[in-house]
Structure formats: structure tokens, C-alpha cells
Chain A
Amino acid sequence: MSSIRIRAKRIDGKTQIRTLITHPMEHGRNIDKSTNQPIPAHFIQELSVKHNGKVIANCAIGGGVSKDPYFAFMLKGGEPGDKITISWVDNLGQQDSEEHIIK
């Protein structure tokens, strides 16, 4: 299952795009209390949002964003059937991508 969930809601001619991503977002300064070892940094660094294949938002993200990050954007316009693609890359090079069709 994809780590990304996307919701798009049309409001007054605009489209609100909301996304929830499953990710630990460890910034690397936490200590694992059971082993007393530092937890290695593991967080999303780049997130991109596309509308019908065109990049509309590019985000640089740090460890200061909460675990399982949530983001929302507001698209001017947006029609039913339009495709929203959201993808991320983390500091370990892992990545994921998900598509959503606006209803």
C-alpha cells in the first residue's frame, strides 16, 4: 500500500489538496530509550505536487515536520478528472508516489 493518501475537495471553484504521508520523520537527535542509542535520521526531504503532470509545488522539508506529515494546498481551479500526483524522497533515498483523480 502506498504511504501517501490524497484527498481533493472542490470548494468555490478552487480545489483543496490534502495529503497524509506515513513516515517516521526522525530528525536524528532522538535517543532510543530501550537501547540508549541515537535513532538515525530518517525524514522526507523533498515533496512534489503535480497537477496534470505539471509541477505546482515543490517543498523542501526538514526534521521539524511532525511524524506522518500532513500538508494541504489550494489549487486555483481544478476540474473533475484532473490528475494530482504527489511524490516524496527521503534522506535515505527511499521514495514513493501516488496519483489521485479529482472527483
Chain B
Amino acid sequence: MPVNRREFLKKSVSLGAYSMALASGLVKSGPASAEWIAEQFAQGKLEETLKTLFKDAKITESDKIEIQIPQIAENGAVVPITVTSHLDGVDTISILVEKNPVPLAARFDLSPELEPFVSARLKMAETSDVIVIAQAGDKLYSARETVKVTIGGCGG
């Protein structure tokens, strides 16, 4: 089917504008449209993943994010983690494991009906820092905790 040139241009322009707006945070993606984005789950260094997730936004360390995680994990295949935040208006909680091949483990978009609380179980390839980033509006807060892994968790 031949695509009308004008129609095509119009569509590509509006799509481009939308993705730009999305990237700059103008269009709030909100909990209803959170989707799995391959680049965020790419293999690489923690810094690269953080850049993909948050661009160059400033991340402030905060003691208002509480990470409950064992200091020593005997089995890296299952490391339970519970994150509780005392910050206001947290809408996203991201959990990253610094030394995993894919640093981002999970990203939770939470609606205001939920407390800023989440529990999960992580795989950890080796002893590493676990980083939690809480996003409240356009502000980013982080906390980290070191977990010593005695048996690697690569064998899921």
C-alpha cells in the first residue's frame, strides 16, 4: 500500500515530538504505561545504566530510603530485599546491583495508592553494592548497601 508522503511526514513528526517529550519528562509515563525498555536492561556498567535511566539528573543520597537486605548472602541466586522509603511522593523505585552483568534488576512504578514500599528477591553474581533509587517527581534519591555473596547467583 502506498503511503501518502504528507501523511507519513506528519506521523513521523508527531511521533518524534512525542518521544522527545517523553525523554525530557514532559509527558509523564505514569504507572499505567510503564513498559519494558531493552536499553535499561542492557549489559554494561552501573554508570551507563544510570545514565540510560535518568540521563544526567542529579541523584542525592538519602537516609530516608531504608534497604533491608542480608549483609552476607550465602546463596547469590536468592537475595531477599525490602525497600521502605520515608520520602514524600515516591513514584518509582529502581533496584540495581552494581556488579551484575545487567545492573538493573527491576523498576517499580507505584501509584499514590501504594506506600513507597517494595519487596523482591534478587540474583547477585558476586559481592556487590545494591543501589536503590527512588524518584519523587523530578527528584532522585539513592541509597546503597553492600552484600557479600559467598556463592554466586549466575546459575539462576
- Taking Cβ atoms with an 8 Å cutoff, the residues of A that contact B are 14, 18, 24-27, 29-30, 45-46, 51, 54-67, 69-77
We find that the number of chain B residues with CB closer than 8 angstroms to chain A is 41
The contact of B108 among A30, A45, A57, A75, by CB within 8 Å, is A57
Interface contact A64-B105, CB-CB below 8 Å:
yes
A77-B112 Cα distance, complex, nearest whole Å: 11
A-B contact count (CB 8 A): 125
Query: B46 an interface residue at 8 Å Cβ cutoff?
Result: no
Q: How far is the CB of B88 from chain A (nearest CB, A)?
A: 13
Query: B54 an interface residue at 8 Å Cβ cutoff?
Result: no
Query: B102 an interface residue at 8 Å Cβ cutoff?
Result: yes
Contacts of B106 in A (CB 8 A): 59-62, 64-65
Majority secondary structure of chain A interface residues (helix, strand, loop or mixed): strand
A45-B102 Cα distance, complex, nearest whole Å: 14
The contact of B102 among A54, A58, A64, A75, by CB within 8 Å, is A64
The contact of B111 among A14, A25, A55, A67, by CB within 8 Å, is A55
What residue in chain B is nearest A51 (Cβ atoms)? Answer: B113
Interface contact B113-A75, CB-CB below 8 Å:
yes
